[in-house]
Structure 1
């Protein structure tokens, strides 16, 4: 289901384009109206959309593979069922945006502003979210395997259906977080904090207790305890 526009963003039928292949010149011309547009099933593959002002736009079932959004203003945008493998969002502003059921595998969000952004049912395998501004950023049922998320804060978050398998989570803050149907299998957890976290809903396979102190105060199940001790070569009977 496509997300609905925010009540303060009104997109008229005249500002809706469907099944179009668009390049930078066409998108830039549309943006100069100062009004948000809705693009449905449009193709912007490899388009250079860097530094354009596209606040409040809606992208529904669009193809933005390898598109260049570097430095673009994309706050309060809505994305639904888009395909954007290897898209480049470096340094862009995606604050207060909603991204649902989109495939942004191996995309680059380095240095982007993701304050208040919501990712739901997305594929972000291999994505780079390093150095992002992430206050109130949320993920739900999203694949983040092999992604780079160093230093992100998930403190007090309820994490549902997140796959962090083999992700770089160095220095992430999971204090008081609740994991439900998640995977931390083989993730890089160096210098992470888990005080008060409930890890019973997480797959901890492949994790090695190089620093057991980081799990002090966290809650795990008996089965998980046996699994972690087995990683240390200890036999649990």
Structure 2
């Protein structure tokens, strides 16, 4: 695949405002550009590539970003409320405290990025891929993660109430101190998950799931029992 920086449609090192992207921008490549505090709501930015761009507090509410790529971008406190991010790719960078409320992220890929405190309430995340993602304190209530595989995903302190984790697999991931009320874990493989903070009275949430002997021992230790 060609480096996006080599594309003839590349814009490098500029401060970008709404007027610069008002025309259909499909296929455009932005490298090392600044979009901080910009208003890009409702624009058609399908398949646009953002590489090492600064998007802090930028507003993309309702924008069409299907197939867009965010490569090593800084989008802290950005707003993507109701945006179409189907099949979008976020690799590297951070979007800490960004809002993705009601956004569509079907088949999106979120990899090696920081999303601490991000809000995904009412987002559509069917088929989303999460790998090496920091989602501590994030809000993801009611998400459907059935049959998903989580590799190095940190859900510590996250709001995961009523999420569907049936048949999911956790590899080197964390659910430490997450809010898990109403979650479903039937046939999930939790052996690769940090379950720190889960009390024995909450272990019923994991009925039908697979856990390790070490995890079982940690839960039973709350009753003063040891597993040998």
Q: TM-score range by the shorter chain?
A: over 0.9
C-alpha spacing 1:43/1:222, structure 2 compared with 1 (3 Å): same
Q: How far apart, in 1, do the equivalents of 2:52 and 2:152 lie?
A: 23
CA deviation after TM superposition for structure 1 residue 34, in Å: 5.3
Report the Cα offset of residue 17 of structure 1: 0.3
Matched with 2:190 is 199
So what's the TM-score if we normalise by structure 2? 0.94
Q: Count residues with an aligned counterpart.
A: 226
> 2:20 — aligned with what?
26
Q: Counterpart of 1:121 in 2: which secondary structure?
A: strand
Where in structure 1 are there 5+ consecutive unaligned residues? Answer: 6-10
Partner of 2:31: 40
Match of 2:8, SS state, is helix
What residue number does 1:235 align with? 224
Matched, 1:143 2:134: yes
CA contact (8 A) 2:32 2:54 kept: yes
Larger CA deviation: 19-28 vs 143-152: 19-28
Aligned-residue Cα RMSD (Å) equals 1.8
Task: Indicate conservation of the 8 Å contact 1:229/1:235, yes or no.
Answer: yes
Unmatched 5+ stretches in structure 2: none
Instruction: Provide closer, same or farther for how the CA distance between residues 221 and 128 of structure 1 changes in structure 2, counting only shifts above 3 A.
Output: same
8 Å Cα contact 2:190/2:211 also seen in 1: yes
Residues 58-87 of structure 1, C-alpha deviations (whole Å, 9 max, x = no match): 000000000000111101101100000000
Which structure has the highest strand share of the two?
2
TM-score by length of 1: 0.90
The structure-2 alpha-carbon separation of the partners of 1:194 and 1:42, relative to structure 1 and needing over 3 Å to count, comes to same
> Residue 24 of structure 2 contacts residue 45 of structure 2 at CA under 8 Å; is this kept in 1?
no
After TM superposition, list the pairs within 5 Å mapping 1:180-191 onto structure 2.
180-191=171-182
How far residue 153 of structure 1 moved from its aligned partner, in angstroms, is 1.5
